[in-house]
Amino acid sequence: MVSIVIVSHSPDLAKGVHALAAQMTQGKVKIAVAAGVDDPENPIGTDAVAVMMAIEEVYSPQGVLVLVDMGSAILSTDMALELISSEQAANVHVCAAPLIEGTMSASVAAAAGMPLDEVINEAHSALLAKYQLLDQSAKLPGGIQANYQPDPVDSENEIEFEWQVKNPHGIHARPASAIVGAISPFDAQVWLSCHDTRVSAKSINSIALLGVKQGDSLTCIASGEEAQQALQAFALLAESHFNESIDERSDEVAVEASHQVHHVAEEDGRLSAIGASEGIAIAPIWHYRITMPEARERDYLDYEQEWQLFDQACDIARRDLAELANQTATAGSKSESEIFTAHSQMLADPELGNQIKQMLKDAVNVDSAWLQVIEQTAQAYKDSPSEYMQARANDVYDVGRRVMGLLIGETEPQIVLTEPVILVATDLSPSDTAQLDPNMVQGIILEQGGSTSHSAILARALGIPAVVGLNDIMSRSQEGDVAIINGSSGGVWLAPMAQQLETAQQELEQLHRQREQDQALAMEKAKTQDGKLVDVFANLASVEDAEQALACGAEGVGLVRSEFLFMDSEKAPSEQSQYEFYSRIAGVFGEKPVIIRTLDIGGDKPLAYLQQGAEENPFLGCRGLRLCLQNVDIFKLQLNALLRARAEHPNLQVMFPMVSTPDELRQAKSLLESCYQVLQHDGVPAAIPDIGIMIEVPAAVANAKQLAKEVSFFSIGTNDLTQYVMAADRGNDAVSYLVSAAQPAVLRMIEMAAQAAHDAGITIGICGEMAGDPKLTATLIGLGIDELSMSPIRIAGVKQAMRTTQSKHAALKAKEILNAETLEQVLAML
């Protein structure tokens, strides 16, 4: 097999290229790096001896291809060839191909077992692929050609296999690499055909030039002695989606990401959009337009006065956002309330403040400065290639509009309606969405946004049916006309016929009857049909939330998010204020259990007054219990408050977040015991509560047997557990197809944790969003979950799902689901 040597002036660049190539080939190819010089103060350069050693490290009689970046890299390589034996030098080729693209293509070709001349051609062709993708008329100098539009050798004996590509991002580099690797070992001529173009299936560059997207039909054509085997290998690879995990719902995700949804399909008057919040709405259309307040034309004061105006406006905005965060904490899920926490963090961004300061120094008044900074920041988000990041531009405008209103003295516009409507807008800010009255706003249609936009998330929290991504809906719709929307399917009917109205009305009435039936029984404990009791608790963040949760039928509290108490203050809340807060919430529920999670800060939730330090990857850094154990003074205040509150409220329990090892759990318990002893010594009433932990990381599942010996209960945070098990950021649209708690790997983790808990004689609950999904209720019961904790609005539906479940049947079904290999199979079973 041909080996690769990377010669570069920059060690960091070479290491990065090496890492990419190794990932593309799963380490099948020997690759060595010769980069930089041994001079800590001036490391940029090349060294002939280092190049010689790299060649000798990976030398292969089949050949060594050396890729270089520029200038002295070529001279150093020439000198290195003089230092090795002439026999070895004869098998070493120095390639003029571009370093990064050439290394990628050459590595894939080498991994496929191609001879040196073909590997060299692939390296050179890499640049042609880029030229032609950017400009179809572009040609490379020197007569270099990609293996493009090949002539069939044995067209009469060709066999074919056709496949509709389901990969969300089409056939990009990794699937192309997998194809080359799968078919190259066979003695056959193999081509791929798409868009009336045929290319060699053994050339990653030629495959890239096809531009295969999701939904395209890709045909593999083979001839030769081992054509059948090559075709079978391709078919097997295609059926595994070219080694990528594909969610059945990824069709929708990909359409959304590529803006294809804006090409609206019409059938029987139906307009197709993205379903963002389930439910049906029938009501007259009302247009809502968001405007950014204009900056005042006024004289510049002086730097200090202008900055004071800005500082005061930001302080008020942060307080308003903290109140919004609290208000929405239980109207939806954890992520919904944290939308406004994220807005506060935007305001706290020091770079934003620095930009304002610089403009104020240039004698620009703060109104104009703020408007310019917001426009520039929002545009940077809009220009991002990521659909998820583009959606964040709306958040920037929301923050900008809020502060601008405060600067010029305009109050936030209120949405006041006198009759029920379907709200139609270009987009909605999170602040606007949060103030909507579901009794008046029956449905939402937006031109922009996606299912991951914050407006969509909040609409789901409020229970308002919504569709998004419907191009030109503002100009296509007429105010006052009755419309129908289906938030589940994404269907919109602007001029429904009588039969369509009648059908939609019947479906809507059926939904209302079901919800009324569910709500009527919400206050009763839920049992399965064969008598199994599963507690249904609420997640909350304030005393007001606690009262609402109780009214919704909560049988206890599975999660009190104490971090909101810390986020609402410019300094750490006192022990006394915490004690009063915990006592009030526990008091609302009387004898019903109340589980308070200790401070869960870090990752996406920093505190201004807590020195956390910059982290390259905060989600894998110092957060949750780890951070508390490093900030013992603040942690002790909370533990003291909890111990004091427990003395008056025996229903109060404590839960530690982000636990990975028994050792850190024992540290936390030891600190709790120490606080208790000090309070006892000082004559302060205190009592040690039952202790539990969050199961949020794979290590906690692996250590579950040991951890169970230390606590009274487990509670699984499925949001974080999913993220960590699947190694997929919840906020990254590129890997959104992996982020589902119904992934087989996540379900197996839940089952393992439940088994460990029951073996130790302790209970296990779920407090992530998964707990509030009625479609998953039976599965969770079957997996052995004892308690489900959710947003109060979801309690009635989950209880009703529980009443229709046979626990024994659910256990059998859960075993079947645990044997599933793909998310698609799990969803089909559900």
DSSP 143: G
Whether 117 contacts 106, CB under 8 Å: no
Do 430 and 395 touch, CB atoms closer than 8 A? Answer: yes
Nearest residue to 431 via CA among 280, 325, 329, 516:
325
Centre a 10 Å sphere on the Cβ of residue 586 and count the other Cβ atoms it contains. 26
Contact predicate 150/198, CB 8 Å: yes
Dist CA 406 CA 757 (whole Å): 52
- E-assigned strand segments in 632-706: 652-656, 691-695
Q: Which of these, 665, 771, 786, 775, lies nearest to 719 by C-alpha position? A: 771
CA atoms within 13 A of residue 591's CA, in its CB half-sphere: 0
Rounded CA separation 168/541 (Å): 37
Does residue 486 sit in helix, strand or coil?
Answer: strand
Q: How far apart are CA 132 and CA 73, in angstroms?
A: 28
For the chain, the distance separating the N- and C-terminal CA atoms, rounded to the nearest angstrom, is 47
- Count of C-beta atoms within a 10 Å radius of residue 803: 15
Pick from 697, 701, 672: nearest CA to 687: 672
Q: Is 449 left (phi over 0), alpha (psi -120 to 50) or beta?
A: left
User: Is residue 169 among the annotated active site residues?
Assistant: no
d(CA 533, CA 326): 31
And the tokens for 710? 């230390």
Sign of CA dihedral 676, 681, 687, 688: positive
- What is the edge-to-edge ordering of all strands in the sheet holding 266-267? 266-267, 270-272, 491-493, 482-486, 280-288, 421-425, 441-446, 466-468, 274-277
Buried b (16+ CB within 10 A) or exposed e, 713-733: bbbbbbbbbbbbbbebbbbeb
Assess contact for 491 and 270: CB atoms under 8 A: yes
Other residues' Cβ atoms within 10 Å of the Cβ of residue 825: 15
Report DSSP letters for 269-310, one per residue. Answer: TEEE-EEEE-SEEEEEEEEE---PPPPP------HHHHHHHH
Q: Are 757 and 764 contacting, i.e. CB atoms less than 8 angstroms apart?
A: yes
**656 three-class SS:** strand
Rounded distance between C-alpha atoms, residue 510 and residue 770, angstroms: 25
Which of 18, 124, 241, 454 is flagged as catalytic? 454
What are the backbone dihedrals phi and psi of residue 273, each rounded to the nearest 5 degrees, phi first?
-135, -165
Apex 717 CA angle, 711 and 718, nearest 5: 135
Instruction: Tell me, yes or no, if 767 is annotated catalytic.
Output: yes
Sheet with strand 189-194: strands edge to edge = 159-164, 217-223, 189-194, 197-200
| Catalytic center residues | 454, 767
